Amino acid sequence: MRTKLEIRGVEILKGYLDPQAQADMVSDIREVVRAAPLFSPETRFGKKMSVAMTSAGTYGWYTDRRGYRYERKHPSGVHWPPIPERVLAVWRDLVSAERMPDCCLVNFYREGAKMGLHQDRDEADFSWPVLSISLGDAARFRIGSVERGGTTESVWLDSGDVCVMGGEARLVHHGIDKVRFGSSSLLSDGGRINLTLRVVD
């Protein structure tokens, strides 16, 4: 069943994708990963991220000691594959039919992976929202404020949930504290996929 929550301006559409749509999206992402394999980059502080990632679209999000940025090619030198049509359909439904996202970041959380509180601010135009899709194991999503520090609120993101961070909430701090490994049967070996769609330039 679809229900809608709003926490600190972040819209959370629970149950947006039904189980068949989730499974179809996983097969699309497997194709993306075949063309552009997952890698675990280093943060600008030189720490290897616990999350494995890749991208689809014109740009892929990337980080190393030179900092956070978008790149036109996967580290292997190939262009990122196109964003799957079924993923674009979610953007079209919830954000815009005129302007498509330039990047679909694919984050893969294996057992123990997490993501610290951060803002998405490597894009040129913050008037476009960030849309993210959760697939697989449930994750504890923490939402803070636009400013650093202060209180936070947390919510479980389950497989098929979609989050939209736009307007006043476009630059809120957010992160994943933990994943309840094995809580979903969508991925045969467990784990969680998060797809983040963004307009980059």
Residue choice 87, 176, 186, 197 for contact with ligand SIN (CB under 6 A): 176
22, 54, 107, 184: which one contacts ligand SIN (CB under 6 A)?
107
Q: How far apart are CA 43 and CA 161, in angstroms?
A: 27
Among 12, 106, 115, 187, binds ligand SIN (CB under 6 A): 115
- Nearest-approach distance from CB 191 to ligand SIN, in angstroms: 12
**Of these partners, ligand SIN, Mn ion, none, which one is at the site of residue 158 (CB under 5 to 8 Å by kind)?**
none
Binders of ligand SIN among 36-75, rule CB under 6 A? none
> Of 198, 177, 183, 194, which Cα lies nearest the Cα of 17?
194
By 3-state DSSP, what share of the chain in percent is helix, strand and coil, each rounded to 5? 15, 40, 45
Q: Shortest Cβ distance from residue 123 to Mn ion (Å)?
A: 11
For CA atoms 191, 165, 173, 143, the dihedral sign is negative
Decide if residue 159 touches ligand SIN (CB under 6 A). Answer: no
Site string for Mn ion, 83-122 (x = CB under 5 A): -------------------------------------x--
Q: Is residue 196 a contact residue for ligand SIN (CB under 6 A)?
A: yes
> Does 184 participate in binding ligand SIN (rule CB under 6 A)?
no
SS3 115: strand
Two structure tokens written together for 92: 């079209």
CB-count burial class (<10 Å; 0-12, 13-18, 19+) for 45: exposed
Judged by CB, which is closer to Mn ion: 88, or 195?
195
Amino acid identity, residue 167? Answer: G
**Pair 74, 104: CB distance under 8 Å:** no
Write each residue from 119 to 138 as x if it is in contact with ligand SIN (CB under 6 A), else as -, in one continuous string: -------------x-x----
The distance of closest approach from Cβ of residue 118 to ligand SIN in the complex, given in angstroms and rounded to an integer, is 7
Q: Distance from first CA to last CA of the chain, Å, rounded?
A: 35
Q: Please give the structure tokens belonging to residue 196.
A: 């983040």
176 binds, among Mn ion, ligand SIN, none (CB under 5 to 8 A by kind): ligand SIN
H/E stretch holding 92 reads helix 85-94
Residues 121-150 that bind Mn ion (CB under 5 A): none
